Amino acid sequence: MLVTVENGRAVKVAGDPDHPFTQGFLCAKVNRYLDRTYHADRLTTPLRRVGAKGRGEFVAISWDEALDTIADRLGTVARGPHGPQAILPYSYAGTMGLLQGQSMDRRFFHALGASKLDRTICSTAGTEGMRMTVGANMGADGEGLPQSDFVLLWGTNTLTSNPHLWPFVLEARKNGAMVIAIDPIRTRTAEQCDEWIPIRPGTDAALALAMMHVLFAERLHDADYLARYTLGEMELRARVAEWSPQRAAGITGIPAERIAELGRQYGRAKAAFLRVNYGLQRHFGGGMAMRTIACLPAVTGHWRRPGGGVQLSTSIGHRFNLAALVREDLSPPVRTINMSRLGEALTRPDAGVGGPPVQAMVVYNSNPAAIAPDLGAVRRGLGREDLFTVVLEHFQTDTADWADIVLPATTQLEHWDVHLAYGHYQATLNRPSIAPIGEALPNTEIFRRLAARMGLDDPCFADDDLALIRQSLDTPHERMKGVTLEALLARGWVRLNVPRPFLPYAEGNFPTPSGKCEFYSERLERMGIDPLPTYTPPRELPETAPQLAARFPLVLISSPRHKFLNSTFVNVKALRGNAEPECQLHPADAAHRGITDGMRVVVHNDRGHFTAVARVGDSVREGVAWAPSVWWTKLAKDGRNANDTTSQGVTDLGGGATFYDNLVEVLPAD
Ligand SMILES: Nc1nc2c(c(=O)[nH]1)N[C@H]1C(S)=C(S)[C@@H](COP(=O)(O)OP(=O)(O)OC[C@H]3O[C@@H](n4cnc5c(=O)[nH]c(N)nc54)[C@H](O)[C@@H]3O)O[C@H]1N2
Ligand SMILES: Nc1nc2c(c(=O)[nH]1)N[C@H]1C(S)=C(S)[C@@H](COP(=O)(O)OP(=O)(O)OC[C@H]3O[C@@H](n4cnc5c(=O)[nH]c(N)nc54)[C@H](O)[C@@H]3O)O[C@H]1N2
Ligand SMILES: [Mo]
């Protein structure tokens, strides 16, 4: 992102035309980054709560008073009967910068002996799925996509959540590739594809198994690649023999003919690109689904060629020295709390979390009162009078309303950072372009000052932000060769030391225990999980939970609204417009509930409810409802959002959140 500054004020943000992947344009949201940075509601001073919890009534205080209050209270908790593990950090994706998201903050909590947080809310199921099959969450290079002859956009709303990939998709299509979307929703992406395959939610593994059935049955496999670079071919063949297209049709809702043809199209292609994204792993069987899909390119040998393979992420390709940043060695052995079960951790510590109750929580880069599942439980927890809550924020969010102390943080225009990428192989420097707004401070500086206040005297707390950047780059890893501060300062980004396009598994080299693509996984076997690819159904589908489905027959998917970034940008008027929370329904589902387009509806299940405006059309599969998310609850008429209905259940692998494994009923609000 290039920022133009005049007299100390940023006046324009634009994409960098020289960047090989983002190619000179910004997404719909970040285009409005100035509206957000200079928003009249930016927090400019520390605040102390004066009203009841959750009311959002605060007065301005000085940094000294704020930091003294926090140090005093955290110190009291740490020295108390439950010890420092009663303190919980809570952070995720508000910024994904390594400095502002995982450096001083982690050092601070580690040295304090606070509980650790398992950051599962987005990607751990898929990450583990990839790890079990190919060894790491590192896949095909999007810059090779133009050379692909068959593109499957599988559980990804590319035009919304990954728009920079789109020009590469268009180039592949210009070169003759067919582009197909596999999604329960006809998203704006699916609309632009050659075909939309409306799959039943959470059933992707069944589709992938049947595709492999066809590949072997019709001899479309690459025998040489299989022999050299894979483990468990015979076992896989036996497994997929059970998965005829007819069987998968009954599960996925896709006609058997279409499944068989998809297997053939895939097998005849020379370099099929599977862009899988995180949508399809937000179901109970998400880890196994990802693992199963990741087997496909090894069956056909597509990893050999540019444009071939599967991409869930490129993040593990980046090898910053995270160990030096987070300094886990400073931490004593402590318990870990799964962030996807925050409601339970705050309200029912004995019910599974174990260890002492959470008495203090420090939230930064996250808005759990909007984005965490089962918001009813989360709000009950945040409302506890005995819980001390600190929130570092740009804005008075849903979560900040529950805080005891709110601290104003800087935005990306105001601080230093470095970033890995999860869709390409360039490392990025974020340099500040303007002075902080008001009294805002970078997260790094806030934790540095807190560490000093609390007497944490390890020399690492004296590192300034540039020192942190140098430490993050100080690594002997081959792929980071050339990624230096000097090179980053010169251009803003540096391509990792990998060929273009990068073909990570062209000649095997899978970072698994066996060094091969593991169709058969001993690691899974040891975990008591099926060692072979299989279909693990969602928890909430009519066939798995018939009694629940009788009362709540629709699967609710609450994936991002085009102009929101999770809960970021929701308060930017230029992006929200006059919109209200919506719920899209298939005409057949709407008709027999007496729902018409524009009608106010209640979406509910046993966990909770929220209201929305109904949108009726055939852009969702029958039996599926779509609530574009993630709304600030305080900007909705009823003070709720889709996460009032989502569950704290976690995935088969990685303990991930299951936002889309969610049965609901939708009724007219009246
Ligand atoms: N504009 C915008 N961009 C974003 C974000 C944002 O909030 N807004 N968030 C960022 C973040 S943190 C992330 S993790 C990514 C998320 O972006 P993606 O990884 O693309 O994930 P989702 O948007 O959750 O879901 C993608 C698609 O999967 C579909 N889907 C849901 N369940 C299933 C299923 O069982 N099978 C299949 N085949 N499809 C399914 C959904 O309908 C949706 O269209 O985007 C990033 N980019
Ligand atoms: N129903 C439903 N729930 C979801 C999702 C969904 O699709 N549907 N998506 C899930 C996913 S994939 C993710 S990743 C999570 C994301 O959820 P979160 O991790 O909470 O991410 P955001 O909502 O984008 O940002 C949270 C806050 O971080 C603040 N922030 C940004 N930069 C900084 C900074 O430098 N310092 C400080 N102190 N604060 C900063 C922003 O102002 C924002 O209010 O939500 C999950 N929840
Ligand atoms: Mo995410």
Q: How do residues 157-197 score in pLDDT, each as one tens digit?
A: 999 999 999 999 999 999 999 999 999 999 999 999 999 99
Instruction: Tell me if 317 is assigned to some domain.
Output: no
CA of 468 to the centre of ligand 3 (A): 25
Same domain, 294 and 335: no
Q: Are residues 519 and 581 in the same domain?
A: no
Mean pLDDT for the chain? 97
- Atom of ligand 2 minimally distant from the CA of 392: 38
- Residue 566 belongs to a domain: yes
Q: What separation in Å is there between the alpha carbon of 661 and the centre of ligand 2?
A: 20
The answer on pLDDT for 349 being more than 80 is: no
Compute, in angstroms, the gap from residue 200 CA to the centroid of ligand 2.
27
pLDDT at 300: 98
Residue 557 alpha carbon to ligand 1 centre in Å: 10
Locus of tokens 């087997």: 295
Nearest CA to ligand 1 atom 47: 161
3-state secondary structure of 181: strand
Distance (Å) from CA 143 to ligand 2 centroid: 28
> Could you say which ligand is closest to the alpha carbon of residue 156?
1
Do both 326 and 463 map to the same domain? Answer: yes
Confirm whether 503 is domain-assigned: no
How many domains are there within the chain? 4
Is 366 touching ligand 2 by the criterion CB < 6 Å? yes
Confidence of residue 353 (pLDDT cuts 50, 70, 90): confident
Q: Find the mean pLDDT for residues 553-575.
A: 98
Residue 282 has a pLDDT of: 98
Ligand 1 centroid to residue 566 C-alpha, Å: 10
- Decide if pLDDT at 350 tops 90: no
Crossing angle of the two packed helices 443-453 and 104-112, in degrees rounded to 10: 30
Do 574 and 606 form a contact (C-beta atoms < 8 A)? no
Q: Which residue has the higher pLDDT, 249 or 351?
A: 249
Q: Please check whether residue 567 lies inside any domain of the structure.
A: yes
Q: Look-up: residue for tokens 């928890």? A: 539
The DSSP string of 629-640 is B---GGGSTTS-
CATH number of the structural domain spanning residue 202: 3.40.228.10
| Residue 33 sits in the same domain as residue 50 | no
Tokens of 489: 């300062």
Question: If you measure from the C-alpha of residue 276 to the centroid of ligand 1, how many angstroms do you get, rounded to a whole number?
Answer: 10
pLDDT at 639 over 90: yes
pTM of the predicted model as reported, rounded to 2 decimal places: 0.98
CB distance 261 to 255 below 8 Å:
no
Pick the residue whose CA is nearest to atom 23 on ligand 1: 559
Q: Could you tell me how far CA 326 lies from the centroid of its own chain?
A: 21
Check whether residue 260 and residue 146 sit in a common domain.
Answer: yes
Exposure b/e, 568-599, CB count within 10 A at least 16 = b = bbbbbeebbeeeebbbbbbeebbeebebeeeb
pLDDT value at 47 more than 80? yes
Question: What pairing do the DSSP bridges indicate for beta strands 388-393 and 405-408?
Answer: parallel
- CATH number of the domain bearing residue 68: 3.40.50.740
Tell me, yes or no, whether 556 and 467 share the same domain: no
397 lines ligand 2 (CB under 6 A): yes
Residues 32-59: what's their mean pLDDT? 98
Residue 351 has pLDDT above 80, yes or no: no
Q: Is 71 exposed, middle or buried (0-12, 13-18, 19+ CB in 10 A)?
A: middle
Helix axis angle, 286-293 to 204-217, nearest 10°: 20
Can you list the alpha helix ranges (DSSP code H) found in 503-654? 522-526, 546-551, 573-576, 587-591
> 79 in a domain, yes or no?
yes
Do 113 and 136 share a domain, yes or no? Answer: no
Q: Which residues of 642-658 are buried (b: 16+ CB within 10 A; e: fewer)?
A: bbbbbbbbbbbbbbbbb
3-state secondary structure 244-276: CHHHHHHHHCCCHHHHHHHHHHHHHCCCEEEEE
Q: Residue 394 contacts by C-beta under 8 Å, 6 or more apart in sequence?
A: 36, 42, 43, 408, 409, 411, 440
List the residue whose alpha carbon is closest to atom 41 of ligand 1: 279
Whether residues 428 and 302 fall in one domain = no
Residue 334 pLDDT level (bands cut at 50, 70, 90): very high
Tell me if 501 is assigned to some domain: no
Ligand 2 atom closest to the Cα of residue 364 is: 38
* Confidence category of residue 355, pLDDT binned at 50, 70, 90: confident
User: Percentage of the chain surpassing pLDDT 70?
Assistant: 100
- Residue of 277, 535, 619, 643 to mutate, ligand 1, most atoms within 8 A of C-beta: 277
Give the ligand 1 atom nearest the CA of 563.
Answer: 1
What are the pLDDT digits (tens) for 429-479? 999 999 999 999 999 999 999 999 999 999 999 999 999 999 999 999 999
Instruction: For the beta carbon of residue 525, count every other beta carbon within 10 angstroms.
Output: 12
Q: Which residues pair with 116 in a beta bridge?
A: 336
Q: How far is the CA of 396 from the centre of ligand 3 (A)?
A: 21
Is there an atom of ligand 2 within 6 Å of 277 CB? Answer: no
Are 236 and 224 in the same domain? yes
Ligand 2 contacts CB of residue 271 (under 6 A):
no
Q: Which atom of ligand 2 approaches the CA of 278 most closely?
A: 12
Give the residue carrying structure tokens 């970034």. Answer: 565
Assess whether 176 and 280 both reside in one domain. yes
Are 195 and 301 within one domain? yes
The CA distance from 425 to 415, in Å, is: 23
Mutational test site, ligand 2, from 29, 119, 366, 607, max ligand atoms within 8 Å of CB:
366
Query: Atom of ligand 2 at shortest distance to CA of 567?
Result: 23
pLDDT of 18 strictly over 80: yes
Residues with CB under 6 A from ligand 1: 29, 93, 122, 154-157, 160-161, 182-185, 187, 199, 201-202, 204, 277-280, 283, 557, 559-560, 562, 564-566, 660
CA dist., res. 89 & res. 150, Å (int): 44
Q: What spacing in Å lies between the alpha carbon of 415 and ligand 2's midpoint?
A: 18
Q: Evaluate whether residue 555 is within a structural domain.
A: yes
DSSP 313-379: --GGG----HHHHH-GGGPPS--EEEGGGHHHHHH-GGGTT-SSPP-EEEEES--HHHHSS-HHHHH
Q: Where are the alpha helices (DSSP H) in 454-534?
A: 465-473, 485-491, 522-526
Q: Tell me which residue range forms the domain holding 216.
A: 126-312+512-526
Q: What sign does the CA torsion over 646, 651, 657, 660 have?
A: negative
Q: Whose CA is nearest to atom 44 of ligand 1?
A: 157
Stretch 81-85: mean pLDDT, rounded?
97
What's the whole-number mean pLDDT along residues 492-498? 97
pLDDT band of residue 560 (cuts 50, 70, 90) is very high
The reply to whether 484 falls in a domain is: yes
Exposed / middle / buried, residue 219 (Cβ in 10 Å: 0-12, 13-18, 19+): exposed
**Residue 9 C-alpha to ligand 2 middle, in angstroms?**
26
Decide: helix, strand or coil at residue 128.
helix
Cis peptide before 501 (omega within 30 of 0): yes
Give the residue, out of 98, 156, 339, 367, with the most ligand 2 atoms within 8 A of its beta carbon, to mutate for a pocket test.
367
Atom of ligand 2 nearest to the CA of 412: 35
**Do residues 268 and 341 share a domain?**
no
Strand partners of residue 406: 47, 391
Q: Which residues of 414-429 are buried (b: 16+ CB within 10 A; e: fewer)?
A: bbbbbbbbbbbbbbbb
**Of 30, 33, 42, 92, best ligand 2 pocket probe by most atoms within 8 Å of the beta carbon:** 92
Do 408 and 61 form a contact (C-beta atoms < 8 A)?
Answer: no
Helix 204-217 crosses helix 233-241 at what angle (to 10 degrees)?
110
Whose structure tokens read 């009694």?
Answer: 547
